[in-house]
Structure formats: C-alpha cells, structure tokens
Amino acid sequence: MSQGVNESMSQFNRIHFAHANGFPARTYTKLFSFLEKDFSIDFLERHGHNPKFPVTDNWDFLRDELREAIENNYSAPIIGIGHSLGGILHFLVACQKPELYQQIILLDSPIISRLSSRGLQILKLAKLIDRYSPSQMTRFRRNLWHSKTEAFEHFKQKPKFDAFDEDVLHDYIEYGTTETEKGIKLFFEPRIEAEIYRTIPHHLPKFLGKTSLPITYIGGTNSREGKLARLGFMKKHFLTDFLQIEGSHLFPLESPQTTAEIIKQVIKNQSK
C-alpha cells in the first residue's frame, strides 16, 4: 500500500483509490498529482494478484482484499474513488460496511440494471462470456518487449491508447511493466486481467437499499461500457449525483486534470 505525501492531513482528506482492470495504480500518477495538494492518496498497487484473495465469480475475494486494506490502514471513514473495476469494488465494500466511508466516487463503474444483470448471468452459465467481453483478447495479447521504448511505441499505436495523455502512457510503461530476464513484460498479468473480465459481477441490483452513502458516478460521454449497462437504472436507484466527462471508458487516463478538478468539486459538494 502506498501512502500519500502529506501524512499530517486529517482523515477527512484521505482518499483510497482503486484502479481499473489491467492498469496498476501508479498508472494514475498524473491524476494523483492534481489531487495530492488537497488529499492524501493511498492505494493497492494491483488487485487480483494476492493468492489470499483470488479472482472468483462476482469478485467476492477482491472485495475482501479492498475491505481489509481499508480496515487495516484507516482509523476514520475515507473517500473511496475507483475506476471501472475499482469503483465496483468500493461499491461492494460500501454495501457490506458503509461505516468505512464518507462517500464513494465511481469513475465509469456502472452498477448494471436488472436486465443487464440477467443477460450477463446467462452468458456466464452458457460459457459465452469470452465472446462478449475483452477477456479472450486480453488473454492472448502480446506480453513481451525488448525495451520500454519498444513497449511504448507498441501501445501508442493501439486504438485503445490513442487518446491517452502522453504522460499517462509513459507512466503506464514505467509502472505497468516490469523487467525480466527475457525482456519487458506487463506488471498486471494478462491471465488475471482476463479472469477479472470473465467473472464481472452480475448480482449488483440486489444491493439496492444496502447503503445510504453519497455515491457519485462520473462517466465518459463515449463510454461503451456505460451504454451497455443501461445507466438509467443506476441513476434512479443508487446515485446521489451523475456527471459526465468527454472521453471513453478510460477518461481518467485520457484527461487526468479535468477528472481531478471534477473529483475535487464532487468531494466539496458532498462534504457540505
């Protein structure tokens, strides 16, 4: 767990950040740089890699991993912020133990509708989930380069990374890869990333009424994930506020400064 730069800050200003699938927390270094003057920021470097908390259906152990980190490292309620995977994990922990939080902010982490939930469950039961999620592509993606420069050029040409802030892409290469005897490989194991996609929770609607915490959703205007989730259900039943930022599902990595400014405004509004 990484500690924020200002240890003297009050608990009221403590953020625990949880990353998206496949993007270790330090990939968000530029986003953090716009927040750390006002907040202490802590995180787990990568979810899903601790054998004590394996990836299972509906992410039960991943939820437990996050809950344990919060329980062990904070003495007062914190602000939970998560992107995609990370937002859903904060939501699951908040439904289980709302007393751990002041508020949570979901960065393109849709709480899916009942209809989407049922469809997802059927895909899992029929073992068709790989056809309709990124899991199959993730599992077989390239995972070895001669150098970080080669890795940077590789990802820079990929459509998924095309809109990334260039500093963020450099951070992804710096913190999202690791050196081995054979060369540079991804720090977040593609096998685990694929399994996280494959086991995405289908039971979220059942948590209706489980927490009265302020929950803010910040979504990308062009987020495919948001559109598939049928956001109207979440807006009606779970949210205190709903906002959007220009960009895709990965907008925190595309527009880190804009994302940080909106996060600060949300926290200020919900803390009044």
- Summarize pLDDT for 87-146 with one digit per residue, the tens: 999 999 999 999 999 999 999 999 999 999 999 999 999 988 988 778 767 767 889 999
63 domain-assigned:
yes
Q: Flag whether pLDDT at 259 surpasses 50.
A: yes
- Asked whether residue 152 is assigned to any structural domain, the reply reads no
**Segments forming the whole domain that contains residue 63:** 11-132+202-270
CATH number at residue 245: 3.40.50.1820
pLDDT digits (tens, 9 = 90+) for 130-158: 887 787 677 678 899 999 999 999 999 99
Supply the pLDDT for residue 153: 96
Q: Could you give phi then psi for residue 211, rounded to 5 degrees?
A: -150, 145
For residue 210, give Cα distances in angstroms to 154, 204, 220, 232, 271. Answer: 44, 11, 26, 19, 21
Model pTM? Answer: 0.94
* Cα-based distances in Å from 116 to 119, 201, 206, 261: 5, 11, 13, 31
- Residue 210 belongs to some domain of the structure: yes
Q: Is the pLDDT of residue 164 over 60?
A: yes
160 within a domain of the structure (yes/no): no
Query: How far, in Å, CA of 24 to CA of 45, rounded?
Result: 6
Q: Is residue 159 part of a domain?
A: no
Q: Is 266 within the bounds of a domain?
A: yes
Q: How does pLDDT run across 213-239, given as a tens digit for each residue? A: 999 999 999 999 998 888 999 999 999
Please identify which residue in the block is written with the tokens 């390239």: 142
Establish if 230 belongs to a structural domain. yes
**How many distinct structural domains can be found in the chain?**
1
Residue 217 domain-assigned (yes or no): yes
